[in-house]
Amino acid sequence: MNEYEKYMKTCFKLAREGIGNTSPNPLVGCVVLDREGNIISTGYHKKYGENHAERDALLKLDKNSAKDGTLIVNLEPCNHYGKTPPCTDIIIEYGIKRVVISSRDTNPRAAGGIKKLEDAGIEVIQRILEREGHKLNEVFFTNINEKRTFVALKTATTIDGKIASSTGDSKWITSEKARKYSYKLRKQYDAILTSSSTVIADNPKMVHKNKIIIDSHLRCDYSSEIFKQGKIYLFTQKSISECPEVPQIEFISNKDLSLKFILDELYKRNIMSVFVEAGGILSGTFIKEELVDKIYHFTAPKILNDNNGKSAFNGDSVSLIKFAKEFSLESIKKLSPDVLLTYTRS
């Protein structure tokens, strides 16, 4: 591992400190070296609307200490006025001699950072741990490159793939340790998405700042736990005139309540990522329509062995194995006694 890779890994670690707070902006960390190659400052993008990582790191220094130094950052410095001034300007102002980046910024609004730095006589080294940098900001790159909301889906099953018995009993399949880790995963995404069936069957709290409920026929009881905290986006086929006035709920109506319509509406509302926690029908429909980017699959060392038990995915009718949807295994994490398998789209 060369020195730049080592410092880039530090940038990734710093960037992750902003998880859950920077959307729709990316996760960015920064390391500044003096002319002798010693670390003199670090920074990261803490919250949307606040200083970007480069500005956060440089403002801790006097200009003389940074002059002729090296700035390492996992994403191309921005070159536009948004909530804050361009990061390119402060890099040039502080006399930085070299900038090292992992990923280019594909957002057209922020483009041109590398060119502006090079035009100012600054050496720019690119593509250091680029694959890891892209993975770190997979939500951001999906938003920018595909103009859509990123979808992560979570399941928790027995070894035989069941999420509940035939009677609907599901508490608890996985251990408390696995459940706590699941709560941690939720915080990485802009919103939790579920169905009215899950709300009615389980009465979950799903604590989060944003929650999305698909309730085609307005079956939910608004005194349920899920409605007691956070902003709610409720999608229904009923007309808006039939929807009650509930302060924290935004009702969104459409006769054709497709998942594509729902994701498009969320994207318009700056919900850049969703964490789906639902029953087999809704989860299976997301898979059927090829709308899932990542799956978090918790498996408990239990076999239900129930012919009529509820499956994690039950949204289609498939006759041949060749029609199975394929995913790639990204990682395996032991949460004893359970295991978390993380998959991404192939």
pLDDT at 168: 84
d(CA 51, CA 310): 47
- The pairs formed by 250-257 with CB atoms below 8 angstroms and a separation of 24 or more are 257/214, 257/216
Torsions phi, psi for 113 (to 5 deg) = -65, -45
Using alpha carbons only, what angle is made at residue 211 by residues 206 and 216, rounded to the nearest 5 degrees?
Answer: 110
Predicted confidence (pLDDT) per residue in 52-101, tens digit: 999 999 999 999 999 999 999 999 999 877 778 899 999 999 999 999 99
Q: Cα–chain-centroid distance for residue 267?
A: 13
Active site residues: 54
d(CA 45, CA 60): 14
Predicted confidence (pLDDT) per residue in 110-140, tens digit: 778 999 999 999 999 999 999 999 999 999 9
Q: Which residues of the chain have pLDDT under 70?
A: 1
Those residues whose C-beta lies under 8 Å from the C-beta of residue 193, and which sit 6 or more positions away, are 211, 212, 213, 214, 274, 275, 276, 277, 278
State yes or no: cis peptide before 172, omega within 30 of 0: yes
Counting every residue, how long is the chain? 346
pLDDT at 84: 81
Nearest Cα to Cα of residue 283 among 259, 262, 254, 264: 259
Give me the DSSP letters along 118-145.
HHTT-EEE--TTHHHHHHHTHHHHHHHH
Strand 249-253 relative to strand 191-195: parallel, antiparallel, unpaired?
Answer: unpaired
- Which domains are assigned to the chain? 3-138 (3.40.140.10), 145-345 (3.40.430.10)
pLDDT at 111: 78
pLDDT at 1: 55
